[in-house]
Structure 1
């Protein structure tokens, strides 16, 4: 079937295939495939789903592909859960509306609405706009421009960065008297609640310090750990939906059976009964965060750069490669030694997930924004290993692979919010070249001569392995 044929199918729509749009009580920043397979899935399945609709905003200024695709479908879409022996399909109706990231007027309006109880986000590590110290990157021109614009005009200024947008939203909420709200980040970042709070409060301080007291009394900052592998949508996915279900969905989302959500925090205005459909509500999300960030995300990041260097395209191909798999296990052995919860079953499940032959998760997708991922997925374990005299090669290998990846793909396939900063560092030569790259990721890590030498050694080893495979 050609594209022309599947687009001729009747269009998926809410009236025929979904359920009535629920009243909007959740505001989501940065809707993408992961959001639609994860938070929207939990909300769809919650027993009180009819009371909790999601008003979502796209993630990047000017990128309205998802908005334009889903608007003709009344914002419903097909979820394809890819088991090893076949697909399971369902229509997700929990997203009540989608708006452009550029529509700051609508964003302010939602923040000012007392019916909005929760703000969730999937804006990636890069969206927090942090510098190397985890502070708001006020030297970034976009951040500086937003702070100046918002300080001059609280009510109508146009903004592009997330910390400034949230600050504008909270200003609008205070002005409207809408009361308390929970902000629940859902990004792959340890302590995402504290990290998000820090940059937003620093933006508030720069714009209107009087808002801080109000925020302390009215904003509940929650933290979460999220997990579900979700590749990019392809024409093959659209084809599958048309063949199996008989309708045209411009933006279905394919995902794996596994799903996990661990949440820590307060919800003064309530929340969907996510815990009734598998979400874990806990007083301490940290052990779950570390297990996921270090084992799943750390392995993903390592495989993305190593695999690409060795000519591998997908996660499934990477984990099937004996050399790469052995290196992943070395990383897991090291990272697991610093976890306080069980990892044996988790590691076995990861192998199963990575090996799913029907999940074609592209390594170049996972390779995006390495400058933001390596500091939280690899560097913490590396520093612990150095302090304890444990093997550092698995961590050094990941960073070495990233450097070689940037050298080979920096001008073509690499996508990174800070590419202009890291690409010259990766391509530089000289005695301090590697140390400078490591310092960009983690200043403390760069002070260890042993680690810098290990990264240099792994650069040579990976280059040799790649040459063998040509």
Structure 2
């Protein structure tokens, strides 16, 4: 604990003048800069009540930060057991630090930092799958939450479970080591049922439309195929509330960590930089106890759909458009792309006109004011939010961000030229001839491009029998628009 380190790729080296090489940990807290807000509770005395799949930067900036604040406000025994489904990177960041990390909110020259103690442990699932199942089955666990990104739900193009996926097929076959969230959940829930323990709340915090219902539908489909009796118990005893989460959290770089070290006086390999804005809206439908998140700003509502639709279509839709349009014009960061005089008008049109037109007037959302606030957030140059980070996994994102709004507008007789410009940029991106494509369907999409070419790609993707026809079948005029942009 608290030793020195040399990080590959970092310009911070042990002994460099003015910079600490002592690592954040319980033993090293005496060296933490006085301006860093300390924990307001005995974090080591708290039991874990939440298991979280996908313990990346967003979770630590959002749900873990809210949970930490709730415990500081007097709630108890809600620390989080994090689960990494693939990489051991987060465990390597947090385990040597006793689970501690700092969260810095930054806007312009203004920054404030607080210590977070909500993470109890991090399990690397491939290395210790039995520990994941045991954590789900633990009597103290009440909630299992998820930020596994859209592709973590292993969906086919029509939204159903993709049974052709090798990892899902392996889990369904009953192989010893689970590889998907469904395999781990099924094993943990079966153990709970056998022990007479109550069901759990499964809390999806990913950018899926109606995410709670989707998770319930997908989990039920998995259990009905693999263990029908457990499916009945799951539907009876567990709950899957829908949520809307919102916070911009760029991926950390070594330079970011070195900047944090200079500010806090200790090396923090788990440090997170984020914006000041944060929002979490949750459907109030839990299977059992939950943290008193409402005491620290979480909104509990009967229906999250209006919040969810506005965020998915205006914020996330604009983010994806900035990514593909901005990358084409040589930009690296969101704040650069939104300042581009060619890109910005398209982003404004997507938000203020095309996406806003799909939101129910009864929602009460002031879409113009919301767009203003989003543009301010996108322009925050203190957050180095990389466009390539947003561009990842586009095939999993565009259905809810662009194609659903396109379908709604098309049914109302409205054309969406700005969204179609962004969609054309995505099509060119997945052609893969300018940069590597990070997408679970990258090879398939590249093959379609080779087979169909510029004159047939639009119909192959968005026509009547296209790859995305389950969400949107483009009108002849929309296909002609895309064909022109892709020629």
Q: Would the TM-score normalized by the shorter structure come out above 0.5?
A: yes
In structure 2, do the counterparts of structure 1 residues 110 and 409 end up closer, same or farther at CA, with 3 Å as the change threshold?
farther
Give the drift of 1:444. 5.5
Contact 2:68–2:116 under 8 Å retained in 1: yes
Q: Distance in 2 between matches of 1:388 and 1:269?
A: 42
Match of 2:355 among 335, 340, 351: 335
- 2:156 maps to 131
Please point out which of 23, 47, 69 is paired with 1:23.
Answer: 47
Q: What secondary structure does 2:473 align onto?
A: helix
Structure 1, unpaired ranges of 5+: 151-156, 461-470
2:124 counterpart residue number? 100
Hey, what does 1:160 align to over in structure 2? 179
Maintained 8 Å contact 1:426/1:437: no
Between stretches 194-203 and 43-52, larger displacement belongs to 43-52
Alignment check: 8 A CA contact 1:81 1:254 kept: yes
Question: Does residue 487 of structure 2 align to residue 456 of structure 1?
Answer: no
Give the corresponding residue for 1:199. 218
For 1:42 and 1:435, the matched residues in 2 are separated by 45
Q: Does the aligned pair in 2 maintain the 1:164–1:200 contact within 8 Å?
A: no
Per-residue deviation, 1:50: 3.5
Partner residue of 1:285 out of 286, 301, 304: 304
More helix by share: 1
Q: Which residue of 2 aligns with 1:294?
A: 313
Q: 2:282 aligns with which of 247, 258, 263?
A: 263
Using the size of structure 2 for normalisation, the TM-score is 0.89
Deviations 1:6-60 (A, max 9, x none): 786221013554552321001101110000000001001112344211011013x
1:322 deviates by 1.2
Question: In 2, Cα distance between the equivalents of 1:13 and 1:409?
Answer: 46
SS where residue 4 of structure 1 aligns? coil
Give the equivalent residue in structure 2 for 1:419. Answer: 442
Residue 12 of structure 2 aligns with which residue?
Answer: 3
Question: What is residue 14 of structure 1 aligned with on the other side?
Answer: 26
Q: 2:381 aligns with which of 357, 381, 400?
A: 357
Using the TM superposition, name which of 180-189 and 42-51 deviates more.
42-51
2:3 aligns with none
| Distance (whole Å) between structure 2 residues aligned to residue 223 and residue 433 of structure 1 | 35
How many residues align structurally? 451
Deviates more, 1:162-171 or 1:69-78: 162-171
Partner-residue secondary structure (3-state), 2:43: coil
How do residues 14-413 of structure 1 correspond to structure 2 at under 5 angstroms? 14-17=26-29, 19-21=42-44, 22-46=46-70, 47-59=73-85, 61=86, 63-102=87-126, 103-150=128-175, 157-332=176-351, 333-340=353-360, 341-408=365-432, 412-413=435-436
1:86: how far off?
Answer: 2.0
Instruction: Tell me how far apart the structure 1 counterparts of residues 301 and 315 of structure 2 sit (CA, whole Å).
Output: 21
| TM-score scaled by length of structure 1 | 0.92
Q: Pairwise CA RMSD of aligned residues? A: 1.8
